């Protein structure tokens, strides 16, 4: 749903940061045909992401890395190669766009509203607000991929869990050197009975897949994220949680290469979920939904506080061309896991809200075996509690677990 540009604009979001590389979406159907097009059109050396144990953060000049399930690639082309690809773009053979840098960041903890909801000895406040605590479903048999800074695989709440993992962050291991990934994985898939404290995980019985796409500073690139999405699709993950983003300048449209790659993932049975962003300063300034959540095929999630009011930092659907908020979820003072030795932490941000929605999507998928891909996305967008805030800020409303 598109919303009017009616937000205050005391300051503008910075434009996106680019890497100097390019993303390309190919029209050809098979990986062999896709590679041949890039090789013959521009003389690029082609590697396929599924052939490597890890995906390098850097490409050499004249190289391209192909994500065959998405029909997309990231490439480091020289000016002559770029001109050759631009000609093929004008002929409709492909789409070509610059690659962006992406980041994972927390929001400010205080939204300015009182907290009528609070953690209990049994469960965190977010699980109560979204009806997870009373749901009979736990995501059993559903695969969730967390694309972030990795996971502490030896954490006591995950050490006995069968976690499938892979790093796409250069030479970095899957082990989380930042904490953001462990926090988000815990919200989506933490255990029903953690070693300490109340339950904090939405889908404790889901099959957990972890793709590290960000470094220890929580920085990464579109190419690394697309590599993780491609891996999740190849592993038949029903849901991908992407707690990442990069600012979108007011009035900018969403990138078509990324949107089409997300649509292809959805067509293959994988729903992508991402945070709206944490750059607003409500009530004075509401900034646009960030990339990649601005893509219409990706579920964009806003954050609410313990009063179910919109978090002060939560971005909104203020751009007329895409960039709508789809759902809201708890995003203030969210307790979850932390890498050792701390074990537990509390975070705030739309990055916390997105894995709430991802976990609930797994509960819906368990409840209805027919709900996969576009059908799961539609079922998720119908699972909400209306809120007083406008759709610009919270989409349909507060996500709710199935009963």
> Residues with catalytic annotation?
148, 180, 351
- Would you give the distance in Å from CA 400 to the centre of its chain? 19
Other CB atoms within 10 Å distance of the CB of residue 58:
11
Scan for tokens 């759902």, then name that residue: 327
Indicate the helix (H) or strand (E) that contains 260: helix 256-267
C-alpha to C-alpha distance for 75 and 77, rounded to whole angstroms: 6
Q: Cβ distance 374 to 297 under 8 Å? A: no
State residue 273 phi and psi, 5-degree precision: -130, 130
Other CB atoms within 10 Å distance of the CB of residue 314:
34
Name the token pair of 31.
């990986």
Q: How far is CA 137 from CA 118, 185, 237, 249, 402, in A?
A: 23, 18, 18, 40, 7
C-alpha to C-alpha distance for 356 and 201, rounded to whole angstroms: 8
Of 392, 391, 353, residue with least CA distance to 111: 353
In the DSSP assignment, the letter for residue 316 is: B
Scan for tokens 């920085």, then name that residue: 219
Crossing angle of helices 350-367/374-381, nearest 10°?
Answer: 110
DSSP string for 10-64 = SSPPPPPPEEEEEEEEE--SSHHHHHHHHHHHH--EEEEGGG-SS--S---TTEE
Q: Cβ distance 319 to 249 under 8 Å? A: no
C-alpha to C-alpha distance for 159 and 329, rounded to whole angstroms: 28
Of 396, 107, 127, 344, residue with least CA distance to 243: 107
Asked whether the bond before 388 is cis by omega within 30 degrees of 0, the reply is no
| DSSP bridge pairs for 238 | none
C-alpha to C-alpha distance for 375 and 303, rounded to whole angstroms: 24
Of 340, 332, 356, residue with least CA distance to 190: 356
């Amino acid at each position: 749903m598109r919303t009017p540009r009616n937000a205050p604009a005391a300051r503008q979001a910075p434009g996106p940061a680019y890497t100097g590389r390019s993303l390309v979406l190919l029209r050809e159907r098979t990986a062999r045909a896709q590679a041949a097009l890039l090789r013959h059109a521009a003389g690029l050396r082609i590697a396929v992401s599924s052939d490597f144990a890890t995906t390098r953060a850097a490409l050499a000049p004249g190289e391209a890395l192909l994500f065959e399930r998405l029909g997309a690639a990231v490439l480091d082309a020289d000016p002559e190669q770029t001109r050759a690809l631009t000609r093929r773009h004008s002929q409709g053979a492909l789409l070509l766009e610059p690659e962006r840098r992406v980041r994972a960041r927390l929001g400010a903890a205080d939204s300015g509203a009182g907290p009528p909801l609070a953690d209990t000895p049994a469960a965190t406040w977010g699980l109560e607000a979204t009806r997870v605590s009373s749901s009979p479903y736990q995501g059993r048999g559903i695969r969730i991929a967390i694309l972030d800074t990795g996971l502490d695989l030896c954490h006591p709440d995950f050490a006995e869990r069968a976690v499938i993992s892979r790093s796409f962050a250069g030479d970095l291991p899957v082990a989380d050197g930042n904490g953001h990934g462990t926090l988000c994985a815990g919200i989506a898939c933490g255990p029903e009975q953690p070693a300490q404290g109340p339950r904090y995980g939405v889908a404790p019985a889901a099959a957990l897949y972890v793709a590290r796409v960000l470094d220890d500073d929580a920085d990464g690139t579109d190419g690394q994220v697309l590599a993780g999405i491609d891996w999740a699709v190849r592993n038949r993950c029903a849901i991908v949680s992407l707690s990442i983003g990069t600012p979108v300048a007011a009035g900018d449209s969403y990138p078509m290469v990324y949107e089409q790659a997300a649509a292809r993932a959805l067509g293959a049975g994988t729903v992508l979920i991402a945070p709206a962003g944490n750059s607003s300063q409500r009530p004075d300034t509401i900034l646009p939904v960030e990339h990649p959540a601005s893509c219409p095929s990706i579920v964009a999630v806003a954050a609410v506080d313990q009063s179910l009011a919109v978090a002060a930092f939560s971005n909104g659907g203020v751009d007329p061309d895409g960039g709508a908020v789809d759902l809201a979820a708890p995003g203030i003072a969210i307790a979850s896991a932390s890498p050792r030795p701390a074990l537990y932490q509390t975070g705030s941000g739309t990055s916390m809200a997105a894995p709430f929605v991802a976990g609930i999507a797994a509960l819906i998928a368990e409840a209805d075996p027919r709900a996969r891909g576009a059908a799961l996305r539609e079922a998720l967008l119908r699972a909400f509690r209306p809120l007083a805030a406008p759709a610009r800020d919270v989409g349909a409303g507060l996500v709710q677990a199935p009963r």
